[in-house]
Structure formats: structure tokens, C-alpha cells
Structure 1
Amino acid sequence: MRRQLMKLAGLAAAGLLALTAAQTTAHAAPAKAAADKAYFVFQDITREQFTIELTDPAKIEHARELVSGETSDRPHVIGRIVKRTAYYNPRWSYHLNPDTIDFFDQAIEVCDSTIPYTEEHLDEAGGPFLPGLVWCPWTSRLVREVPRP
């Protein structure tokens, strides 16, 4: 029974990520000229900060609009965790796969976690904790764009 619940939670998380990506495509405005990569910092309720790399021009534009206050639509970050440090996010032992990062308004609870809690329980991520390695910190808010490291 527990194994079935874990599989169901993983499928739900993966479905949420796919749905969020589909919503982004449906709501994406034509992107202005943007670099091929951009880096943004988000903060959560713990006031810890986490850097993400974006490669999709529409998502880069959306992130810039969030930082500037031009929009408040889909303010939270979602993506799949990679369990290793990224050069642009050296404080943490994990990062988000840039190809999976998206933005959301609401998400299911199974993918919610703070930045430090995720770090402390990274060895459990992908099982019952953050099934499918999908992470959607509900209190995430972009705070700034940072220069390319």
C-alpha cells in the first residue's frame, strides 16, 4: 500500500510539473531579446536564498517581469532537483535542472519544502520526500537577477 502511495505521489508531482509547463506555454508572451542563459535568486520563508539558471527566453522574460514588479502571475518556482552543486549556486548541495524550471501560482503539498529543509533531507528526495525530485517551494519569490557567474 505504501509503495502504491509513493508511486501515486510521484505521478502527481510529475503531472503537476507537466501541467505547469503546459500553462506556461499557453500564457507565454512573445519573448523580448534575451541572453541564452540568465540567473535569478529566489528566497523562501526562511529568508535563505537559492540561485537558478534559466535558459528558456519566455521564462527569462517572465522572471524579469516578476523581479521588476511588472507581473505577479505565477510567482513561485518549480523544477526537478539535481543532487549536486552547481557552480552558480555553490552554497547548496543541489540545484534545479534548468530545462525543468517553471513558475506556478498553486501546487500540491507533496513537492513543497524550504531551501534548508531540502538540503538537510536531500538523501531522501525522490522517494516519499519530493517524489520524482520535483520541488515547488510554496514561499519562493524571485528577489533579483544576478550577473552570469
Structure 2
Amino acid sequence: MNNVMLALTISLLFGIGTFLILRRDMMKVIIGFGIVSHAINLYIVASGVFSDGTLVPILEHHQAVHGLDQGLMVADDVAAGVIGPITTNPYTEFADPLVQALVLTAIVIGLATTAFILTLAYRTYEEYGTTDVQELRRLWG
């Protein structure tokens, strides 16, 4: 049920963002890009969480005993779908930390880009008195 709700939330955000991007007002377009950016980040984070115990990035000790017997720090068994470092942690639910780091970077870049675009939209409004794209085309000739 959680996966269905997550998929519906991501779909709804994509739909709202796309609807706003197709508007004539620059402010609505900027808000639409922000919403689509958040939907993409949510999608990437959702894809980095594994629910199957054999595909977690950090393995339990009993899953990789044969790797420890051979003196390995990492037990990679591609045929069994087991790839990752070994730990003795009793918890089996792990998330990929690389995905979270990439999304954090995307959030910071998105914030800076949004601030720059908002500045451009403000300067356009100061110069021409409107943020309507059709009106700006008419004013520019």
C-alpha cells in the first residue's frame, strides 16, 4: 500500500508541475519547475530504498559468511544478487546512501537555480511591468 501511495504522490506532483509549466505566467512556470524538481527527487529517493533483504547495500553477517571465510571485506555474489559490504548489524532495512547524497546535491542546485530564475523574473517585471509571456512577446516586437 505504501508503494502505491508513493507512486500516486509522485504522479500527482509530476502532473501538477507539468500543468503549471504549460501556463503563460512566468511565476507559474517557475513554481511548476520547482514541483517537477521535487517530484524527480522523490522518485530518485524512492528508487534507492530496497525492500528485498538480498539487495540491501550493507549485508548481514550470516548472508556473507562464505566471504568472511575467504578473508574478503566485501562479498559479491552476482548470481545470488548479493553485492555490498559486510556488517554484523541485526537490522536488514537499509537505504542506498549514494542516492541520498545525489538528491541532496540536486536540492541545493535546484535552490540556486530557482533563486536565479526568480531574480530574472523580478527584473523582467520591473522592466516591462508584466510576467505574461504573450504580453512580453508583444512588447518586444
TM-score normalised per structure 1? 0.27
Question: Which of the two has higher C-alpha Rg?
Answer: 2
Instruction: Point out which structure has higher relative CO (alpha carbons under 8 A, 6+ apart).
Output: 1
Q: Which has the higher strand share?
A: 1
Q: Which has the higher helix share?
A: 2
